[in-house]
Amino acid sequence: MDTDALRELTFTDSKDQLRFITCGSMDDGKSTLIGRFLHDSKAIYEDQLQALARDTVKHGTPGDAIDFALLVDGLEAERDQGITIDVAYRFFSTPRRSFMAADTPGHEQYTRNMATGASNAQLAVILIDARKGVLVQTKRHSYICSLLGIRHVVVALNKMDLVEYRKEVFDRIVGDYVKFASNLGFTSIAAIPISARHGDNIINRSRNTDWFHGPCLLDYLESIDIQSETAGLPFRFPVQWVNRPNMDFRGYAGTVVSGSIAVGDEIVVPASGRNSRVKQIVTYDGDLVRAEAGDAVTITLADEIGIGRGDVIAKPTERPEVADQFAAHVIWMDQEDMVPGRSYGFRIGTQSSASGSITAMKYRIDVNTGAHVAARTLRLNEIGFCKIATLLPATFDAYEANRRTGSFIVIDGETNRTVGAGMIAFPLRRAVNMAWRPLSLGKKERAALKHQRACIIWFTGLSGAGKSTIANLVDQKLFAMSYHTMLLDGDNLRHGLNRDLGLTESDRAENIRGAGQVAKLMVDSGLLVICSFISPYKAERDMVRDLVSDGEFIEVFVDTPIGECVRRDPKGRYAKAKSGMVKTFTGVDAPYEAPSAPEIHLTTLNQQPERLADTVLNCLAARGIIVPTNRTEN
């Protein structure tokens, strides 16, 4: 095929897109290869070429007229270092196909970038330096591609010019590769001898390799049949958004990620077990009779069955898994190590704010050999096999069966960084298909209805320490984030429920006991209960702690020195205590037992209440009690 054919911008209805990733170690020629595709397909314009020629002088490989790698190596920092440290997406097009190429770094410390590039790729071009053959890194790249679900591989044996285009070299290395890759689950492996720098077998077949009878790389990429991998799979429709423009219309907006659905088909929402039938498939361009994998549509149902964002619509005959525990491969992507048992946010499909934790590490995988290594945690760029538990049951498939419904990302609740990515292997404990109406309603169900986790946030500290101020702010902020809360304050309780109680030691104890019981009832009803009591005695606070389950009592120690409290004395109580008008006043003539290990310790001197309230919210998020996104109600 000649170069000009690439430029013809005509297209047919069947023109499609192929997304591929190029893998190779540093200097194998990835950037050069993609740069050449761009150049030869005229995706590069004259002015860009001129800039490139200038850049070549400044940064490029000495001796080259034009260093194609500079076309794709973008960010300032990495250009100066001469390496690719991020994923670059590049585009070129022929009349038959448009291509999106992900250029990713190949070093072990960039495994996360490679995984990112591979996650959306349908095919991998694995570069091997003809002088070096199959190396450890080749195996790593192949392994990651396989794990990320890529089923088609092209081995591009690069730098053939440096081995005199010899057939034996090609045959030997390809033989090695095929032997190694036989158990990686690839559906197709092709091998092509190329020179990225000189253009052999890239856009045109090369005369330097007349012993090679296969297609050149572009021809191969243009013609390989990646028949829609998702078409034959069971129907899955993760609901993104409920479209309710008026009382008469309630549609579920989303993309058919696999399979197909037609008007009249019976459907089920596996998480609730409720059934209905497809009434309409709505699009801006008119209603459809059938929607296929890849279509972004809005579905209406015959019955109102309480569907919201995060639900998956499936067919009753082909249900996904519903479970709150599963095993998965996890790639760690953050500088901070993974902490088993810690609460993280999980995003599974459109279930964007699940919380849960990685309960156990089974083993780490040596990405160079595929060997299983005992490990307790995962560091940046490491891959492990883990057990994961989510607070509420999640709907999913095994990643091997469906890349779109079997994948998830892990989010740090405090920093909001994406710290990991995972591929589900199998459910560990299937949630019994939840009946629509649970037999007995408990805290969990009531809290789930409000999309939250119930708990007591207990502020303790001296009078005037700032408890009520901060507690009020926290209450307001949670409310603004659509959490259902209730505020119990020492003062307001004493005016009503505990009006008959005085300030003696036993009355104080009774006051706290009553408050604790009320708070517990509120937790049972699914609320986030914010309590603000001096509560000077450790034993009393622990008594309240014991009323609720583990992790549901968050003690917040508002730590203000007595001197400062006396100085503030907002209610004039210290003055009264000093003058003897009030008896047994905490901090004056009654003890305050500071918490030894509060969940949250706030030192208030020189701090703004606003900031302190934010600290509390951050801690709540870190504990997975709240999700730090802006919640929207469907």
Ligand X SMILES: Nc1nc2c(ncn2[C@@H]2O[C@H](COP(=O)(O)OP(=O)(O)O)[C@@H](O)[C@H]2O)c(=O)[nH]1
464 is in an annotated binding site: yes
Is there a binding annotation on residue 463?
A: yes
| 161 is an annotated ligand-binding site residue | yes
Is residue 230 a known part of a binding site? no
If one asks whether residue 338 binds other proteins (CB under 8 A), the answer comes out as no
The CA distance from 234 to 484, in Å, is 38
Of the residues 15, 179, 290, 342, which one makes contact with other proteins according to CB under 8 A: 15
Question: Is residue 520 part of an annotated ligand binding site?
Answer: no
> Helix or strand or coil: residue 150?
coil
22 counts as binding Mg ion under rule CB under 5 A: no
List, in sequence order, every beta strand (DSSP E) within 370-483.
Answer: 372-373, 383-396, 407-411, 418-430, 455-460
Name the closest residue to Mg ion (Cβ): 31
Q: Shortest approach of Mg ion to residue 122 CB, angstroms? A: 21
Q: Within positions 25 to 64, which residues make up the interface with Mg ion, using CB under 5 A?
A: 30-31
The reply to whether 161 sits near ligand X by the rule CB under 6 A is yes
Q: For other proteins, which residue of 93, 195, 390, 560 counts as binding (CB under 8 A)?
A: 93
Minimum distance between the CB of residue 21 and ligand X, rounded to whole angstroms? 12
Q: Is 40 in the site for ligand X (CB under 6 A)?
A: no
Scanning residues 560 to 599, which ones bind other proteins (CB under 8 A)? none
b/e map of 32-47 (b: 16 or more CB within 10 Å)?
bbbbbbbbbbebbeee
Is 527 within 8 Å of 536 (Cβ atoms)? no
Bridge-based pairing of strands 553-559 and 600-603 is parallel
CB 452 within 8 A of CB 552: no
The 297-316 contact track toward other proteins, x by CB under 8 A, reads: -x----------x-------
Q: Which of residues 399-428 bind other proteins (CB under 8 A)?
A: 403-404, 407-409, 411, 416-418, 421
Q: Could you say whether residue 113 binds other proteins (CB under 8 A)?
A: yes
Q: Taking CB under 6 A as the rule, which mask of x and - marks residues 179-218 in contact with ligand X? A: ----------------xxx---------------------
Q: Quick check: helix, strand or coil at residue 111?
A: helix
- List the Cα angle 35/37/41 in 5-degree steps: 120
Residue 32 interacts with which of other proteins, ligand X, Mg ion, none, CB < 5 to 8 Å by class: ligand X
Edge-to-edge strands of the sheet including 553-559?
Answer: 485-489, 528-532, 455-460, 553-559, 600-603
List 146, 206, 407, 535, catalytic entry: 535
- 596, 524 Cβ separation under 8 angstroms: no
Burial class (CB in 10 A: 0-12, 13-18, 19+), 525: middle
Nearer to ligand X, 157 or 626 (CB): 157
Nearest CB to other proteins, comparing residues 423 and 456: 423
Q: Under a CB-based contact definition with an 8 Å cutoff, are residues 103 and 24 in contact?
A: no
Per CB under 6 A, 30 contacts ligand X:
yes
204 binds other proteins (CB under 8 A): no
349 known ligand binder = no
Q: Which does 24 bind (CB under 5 to 8 A by kind): other proteins, Mg ion, ligand X, none?
A: ligand X
Nearer to other proteins by C-beta: 112 or 573?
112
Residue 24 assigned to a binding site: yes
How, if at all, do strands 123-129 and 152-158 pair? parallel
Buried b (16+ CB within 10 A) or exposed e, 185-202: ebeebbbbbbbbbebbbb
The verdict on 289 binding other proteins (CB under 8 A) reads no
DSSP letters for 130-144: TTT-S-HHHHHHHHH
Is there binding between residue 75 and ligand X (CB under 6 A)?
Answer: no
Query: Kind and range of the H or E element at 620?
Result: helix 609-622
Tokens at 328, concatenated: 């998965």
532 is annotated as an active-site residue = no
Min dist. Cβ of residue 151 to ligand X (A)? 23
- Check binding of 361 to ligand X (CB under 6 A): no
| Window 41-70: residues binding other proteins (CB under 8 A) | 43-48, 51, 54-55
Read off the tokens for 355.
């919380």
**Counting contacts by CB under 8 A, is residue 241 touching other proteins?**
yes
- Does residue 61 touch ligand X according to CB under 6 A? yes
Q: Are 482 and 631 contacting, i.e. CB atoms less than 8 angstroms apart? A: yes
Residue 158 sits in the site that holds Mg ion (CB under 5 A)? no
325 binds other proteins (CB under 8 A): no
Residue 84 within binding range of Mg ion, rule CB under 5 A = yes
Beta strand residue intervals within 266-382, DSSP E: 266-269, 274-282, 290-292, 296-301, 312-313, 321-332, 343-348, 351-365, 372-373
Among 172, 319, 329, 347, binds other proteins (CB under 8 A): 347
- With CB under 8 A as the contact rule, the residue among 275, 352, 368, 433 that binds other proteins is 352
Q: Binders of Mg ion among 262-321, rule CB under 5 A?
A: none
Min separation Cβ 207 and ligand X, Å: 16
Q: How far is the CB of 9 from other proteins (least distance, A)?
A: 5
Q: What secondary structure letter does DSSP report for 315?
A: B
Stretch that binds other proteins, among 465-473, 505-513, 563-571, 626-634 (CB under 8 A): 626-634
H or E stretch covering 563:
helix 562-568
The set of residues, in sequence order, having a beta carbon less than 8 Å from that of 384 and lying 6+ positions away, is 329, 330, 332, 338, 361, 362, 363, 364, 365, 375, 378
Cβ 130 to ligand X, closest distance in Å? Answer: 8
- Residue 39 within binding range of ligand X, rule CB under 6 A: no
Query: Whose Cβ is closer to Mg ion: residue 48's or residue 634's?
Result: 48
Given the structure tokens 């549609």, which residue do they identify?
251
Nearer to ligand X, 50 or 81 (CB): 81
Q: What value, to the nearest 5°, has the Cα angle with vertex 572 and ends 566 and 575?
A: 60
Q: What are 408's strand-pairing partners? A: 348, 422
How far apart CA 421 and CA 476 sit, in angstroms, is 34
* Binding window for ligand X (CB under 6 A); candidates: 3-11, 39-47, 133-141, 157-165: 157-165
Residues 6+ apart with CB under 8 A from 338: 330, 332, 358, 361, 377, 378, 379, 384, 419, 420
- Between residues 126 and 431, which has the closer beta carbon with respect to ligand X? 126
Among 22, 29, 31, 25, which residue's Cα sits nearest to residue 69? 31
Residue 369's closest CA among 573, 136, 559?
Answer: 136
Residue from 8, 64, 445, 491 in contact with other proteins (CB under 8 A): 8
Binding stretches for ligand X (CB under 6 A): 24, 26-32, 61, 69, 84, 158-159, 161-162, 195-197
- Residues tagged active-site: 535
User: Which residues sit in the known binding site?
Assistant: 24-31, 103-107, 158-161, 461-468
For binding to Mg ion (CB under 5 A), which residues are involved?
30-31, 84
